Structure 1
Amino acid sequence: MDTKPRVVAVGAGLAGMETLFTLRRRLGDRVELALVADRDDFEFRPGTVYVPFGGAEDDLQIPVASPAQRQGITVEHGAVAWVETEPKRLVLTDGRTLDYDFLVLATGAAMRPERVPGLAEHAHLVGSLHQMRELGRTLRRLRDAAVDGSPQHALFLVPPGNCWPGPVYELAFMLETWLRRSRVRDRVCLTFATFEDRYMEALGAGLHPVIGEKFASRGIISHARSVVTEVEPHRVRFADGTAHTFDVLVSTAPHAAAVDYEGLPKDRNGFLLTDAETRRVRRTDAVYAPGDAGDFPVKLGYLSLLQADAVADDIAARIDPASVAEPRRFDPVGLFVLEMLDEAVFARTPLAMTGEPDRSGEGRRVGVSPIWHLGKKTLGAYLPQRFRAGHPVHGGLRQDAVSLGLRGLSKAMSEPVEES
């Protein structure tokens, strides 16, 4: 090529940043990289679950400009109006146009609480740093009321259409530990209700009995197959005719694509339809959708990183075949540590391309230990450091050592699980 090929990524999140950082590592200065971002900071969402309980916030907001500058990535501030595939051009809402040779659409998913009547008005939604700060203030008021002798009820809710309920599970268990440490656990009723047939069913049947036992041992009332139909002030109604009252309602919401890309193939929720292994958008030659913007139904940060690696390798191999001996393909393995503040549950589940667990039984492991709590805290500090430095999460000697340690720990501190 007479000029350097240009890769433009839209979205300053896990998938977009990982893709660009990996491409720089793979191709060096043989490629021009650009990032379109609609904000100055990237929030590291996995770490926000600690914020309601006094967790530090300093490392959770990562400036976009400084790591991009370190890697020679041009940052364009703005939002997408539409995408053209012939000619290859991206149009921003302010009228600017950006040409590309390869385009990475990593704009993620967004919650749509309006799909459940009353949810937006009466629930504390789980997600952003701002939402977690507000939840923390509410939980402190709940604890203070319990200290003053007023019984309280906190209800945790997972509605239909949600693609990743993990943080709601974590917050339920973390609140139980926090209240117990505050010596007011006996004055607060905790209830968990989810539409799922089994607890954390996205990661297979193996977690259901483990989480169910933890709910029971910690005195958390739990209900699966509870489909919310409406939220009223201090009351949630379900499809089976039952209702639960609450003083505090903590919920996630149905998901849909954060950006609607007119003209590109997508499902009914706006998620871009992709090739399973490369995450290339169907019926396009050079457009990719790693992470939550794509159609893989489980929206989990670890899976976003795996998809970004596959996208980066596919693009690098097309630009310079010698740069990647064996391009990585997206092999969906769900890896999740469910935090409880005093211990944690580790789960590793190979998934089929549908998002359903691979029922072959190979490679699925579950473990419970205080060590996983420490491990999650350590990884939560390590990953933002990688992004701040402009390095991909997956790559380099330090990450190889971390991955090796994680594999060893998973074998020592978890057990194989058979699908029932």
Structure 2
Amino acid sequence: MAHVVILGGGTAGTMVANKLRRKLGDGARITVVDRDDAHLYQPGLLLLPFGVYDPHDLLRPRDRFLHRGVDLVLAEVAQVLPKEKEVLLGDGRTLRYDVLVVATGVAPRPDQTPGMSDGQWRRSVFDFYSLEGAVALRDALADWPGGRLVVHVTEMPVKCPVAPLEFAFLADAFFEERRMRERVEIVYVTPLEGPFTKPVASAHLGAMFADRHIGLEPDFYVERVDPETRTLVSMDEREVPFDLLVTVPVNMGADYVARSGLGDELNYVPVDRGTLQSTASPDVFAIGDANDIPASKAGSVAHFESDGVVENIVDHLHGRPLTHRFDGHANCFIETGHGKGLLIDFNYDTEPLPGVYPYPRVGPLSLLKETRANHLGKLAFLHLYWNVLLPGRPMPVPSRMSMAGKETAGTKE
């Protein structure tokens, strides 16, 4: 019996395991490996510092969301031996596989930037890409008297690349609602030329920054953080002082990826961007944040990848050519504060465009437009995540990006 081993029981790994179980039935053994049994709803980390969620809202047992017949192994991954088709676990066990799926995502690494994790870490320097960081930031914001708030992206790529933008917008609204916005200067610091990677959306978001009096410091490649003077210093010696720094550290894949010879310099797994098959080992696939495709590292991307990669795994097990190709489809809700949000939908080749989503003419969601419905859609996603997405049930949107409902060249569809 074929054995599919999935490293990582987060969003991507859980979806693939459940969809494979439905597809293969009892025709294959499926094993998910993760270091613990705590599944974290990562999109909620952005909202936790502002009091929308508490930690208990975001955590569930992993095994609750894995279908019967999927084995969960709790252990650290020590190394993968691709030639032997084996996974060595930290407790000494070995798992043999016919197909391996790398779904261990990425993690923030403040240690990769000199000074970032030194004396001011979680005192005046915070992240919100971890549960501990989001809780610490919530506590810091609760009695912060005001000053210069710098929202900073160290380097790309990062998981959920719109999240730091959302944090800036939410901070603007948070301080305004507390009647202290005039005591807070907000500056957004990024290595990009503008707020976002896609030019159309970047221009739109830049105008929103200007309307909200959020400063923008582009093309900023950080060299170090000076914890004594509370200053970001760039490679070209520009300096950005802060009273409170909310940073997105370097995001890196799991260390075992490097030890296994499967990754690049950031421990992302190089794959064919259509099939998601490893370029180093044909029996290995990488999905979600763990791979190196030029698409957003977001839960929606993992969802849109999952159907195709499951079909490709099945074809690979049966010795058939891989014909299902991912098109880079991503969509992201962008919280903009005061109960409103934006929605963007794009792929490898198509910019975010205005229009309606997911259905032509009726929407009900608007693209590249602030609406209450988009904000409610983001909040509703928590329910969909636990009850539809993770179990691998069908969603009412196609995996491949559709142009239906989008406005192009002045034409409304």
Does 1:163 find its partner at 2:158? yes
Q: Is the 8 A contact 1:367 1:415 kept in 2?
A: no
Instruction: Write the distance in 2 (CA, Å) between the matches of 1:24 and 1:186.
Output: 55
Query: Percent of counterpart pairs with the same letter?
Result: 25
Q: Who is 1:82 aligned against?
A: 79
Does 1:189 find its partner at 2:191? no
Does 1:213 find its partner at 2:207? yes
Instruction: Write the distance in 2 (CA, Å) between the matches of 1:135 and 1:89.
Output: 41
Cα distance, 1:337 vs structure 2:
1.2
Instruction: Write the distance in 2 (CA, Å) between the matches of 1:106 and 1:299.
Output: 12
Cα distance, 1:227 vs structure 2:
2.4
Instruction: Write the distance in 1 (CA, Å) between the matches of 2:167 and 2:310.
Output: 34
Q: Which runs of 5+ in 2 are unaligned?
A: 357-366
Query: For residues 148-173 of structure 1, what are the alpha-carbon distances to aligned partners after superposition, in whole Å with 9 as ceiling and x for unaligned?
Result: xxx52211111234434321111111
Amino acid at match of 1:350: N
Instruction: Write the distance in 2 (CA, Å) between the matches of 1:351 and 1:265.
Output: 24
Q: Who is 2:39 aligned against?
A: 42
Amino acid at match of 1:314: N
Instruction: Write the distance in 1 (CA, Å) between the matches of 2:188 and 2:404.
Output: 28
Q: Who is 1:61 aligned against?
A: 59
Query: For residues 320-358 of structure 1, what are the alpha-carbon distances to aligned partners after superposition, in whole Å with 9 as ceiling and x for unaligned?
Result: 699xxx964211022111112321121112215xxxxx4
Cα distance, 1:129 vs structure 2:
1.7
More helix by share: 1
Query: For residues 227-269 of structure 1, what are the alpha-carbon distances to aligned partners after superposition, in whole Å with 9 as ceiling and x for unaligned?
Result: 2222123222234443222221001012222233334343222
Consecutive aligned runs of 4 or more in structure 1 exceeding 4 Å deviation: 319-322, 358-365, 407-410, 414-418
> When the two structures are superposed, what TM-score results if normalisation uses the length of structure 2?
0.85
Q: Who is 2:360 aligned against?
A: none
Does 1:340 find its partner at 2:339? no
Number of residue pairs matched by the alignment: 386
Cα distance, 1:87 vs structure 2:
3.3
Counterpart mapping for 1:55-204 below 5 A: 55-57=52-54, 58-68=56-66, 70-121=67-118, 122=120, 123-142=125-144, 145=145, 151-164=146-159, 165-201=161-197, 204=198
Does 1:291 find its partner at 2:288? yes
Instruction: Write the distance in 1 (CA, Å) between the matches of 2:378 and 2:204.
Output: 18
Instruction: Write the distance in 1 (CA, Å) between the matches of 2:304 and 2:79.
Output: 26
Amino acid at match of 2:170: M
Instruction: Write the distance in 2 (CA, Å) between the matches of 1:65 and 1:417.
Output: 48
Q: Who is 1:316 aligned against?
A: 314
Query: For residues 1-40 of structure 1, what are the alpha-carbon distances to aligned partners after superposition, in whole Å with 9 as ceiling and x for unaligned?
Result: xxx3211101111111111011112122222111111011
Cα distance, 1:415 vs structure 2:
4.9
Moved more, 333-342 or 31-40: 333-342
Q: Who is 2:234 aligned against?
A: 238
Q: Is the 8 A contact 2:355 2:407 kept in 1?
A: no
Amino acid at match of 2:158: C
Q: 1:287 to 1:212 in 2, by over 3 A?
A: same
Q: Is the 8 A contact 2:9 2:39 kept in 1?
A: yes
Query: For residues 107-131 of structure 1, what are the alpha-carbon distances to aligned partners after superposition, in whole Å with 9 as ceiling and x for unaligned?
Result: 1112222232212233202201221
Instruction: Write the distance in 1 (CA, Å) between the matches of 2:236 and 2:101.
Output: 43
Does 1:377 find its partner at 2:379? yes
Q: Which runs of 5+ in 1 are unaligned?
A: 146-150, 353-357
Q: Is the 8 A contact 2:275 2:323 kept in 1?
A: no
Cα distance, 1:362 vs structure 2:
11
Query: For residues 17-74 of structure 1, what are the alpha-carbon distances to aligned partners after superposition, in whole Å with 9 as ceiling and x for unaligned?
Result: 1110111121222221111110111111112111011122344212112222x43211
Cα distance, 1:307 vs structure 2:
2.6
Does 1:222 find its partner at 2:216? yes
Cα distance, 1:408 vs structure 2:
10
Cα distance, 1:284 vs structure 2:
2.0
Instruction: Write the distance in 2 (CA, Å) between the matches of 1:363 and 1:310.
Output: 27
Amino acid at match of 2:178: S
Q: 1:109 to 1:248 in 2, by over 3 A?
A: same
Q: Is the 8 A contact 1:194 1:227 kept in 2?
A: yes
Q: Is the 8 A contact 2:77 2:256 kept in 1?
A: no
Instruction: Write the distance in 2 (CA, Å) between the matches of 1:186 and 1:19.
Output: 48
Q: Is the 8 A contact 2:35 2:75 kept in 1?
A: yes
Cα distance, 1:293 vs structure 2:
1.6
Q: Who is 1:148 aligned against?
A: none
Q: 1:198 to 1:330 in 2, by over 3 A?
A: same
Q: Is the 8 A contact 1:80 1:90 kept in 2?
A: yes
Instruction: Write the distance in 2 (CA, Å) between the matches of 1:35 and 1:245.
Output: 45
Q: Is the 8 A contact 1:366 1:417 kept in 2?
A: no
Structure 1 vs Structure 2 CA RMSD = 2.9
Instruction: Write the distance in 2 (CA, Å) between the matches of 1:107 and 1:117.
Output: 26
Q: Who is 2:255 aligned against?
A: 259
Instruction: Write the distance in 1 (CA, Å) between the matches of 2:354 and 2:377.
Output: 24
Instruction: Write the distance in 2 (CA, Å) between the matches of 1:8 and 1:417.
Output: 46
Q: Is the 8 A contact 1:59 1:384 kept in 2?
A: no
Structure 2 SS opposite 1:199: coil
Q: 1:90 to 1:129 in 2, by over 3 A?
A: same
Q: Is the 8 A contact 2:45 2:128 kept in 1?
A: no
> When the two structures are superposed, what TM-score results if normalisation uses the length of structure 1?
0.84
Q: Is the 8 A contact 1:157 1:252 kept in 2?
A: yes
Cα distance, 1:314 vs structure 2:
0.9
Structure 1 SS opposite 2:331: strand
Instruction: Write the distance in 1 (CA, Å) between the matches of 2:166 and 2:335.
Output: 5
Does 1:391 find its partner at 2:391? yes
Q: Who is 2:359 aligned against?
A: none
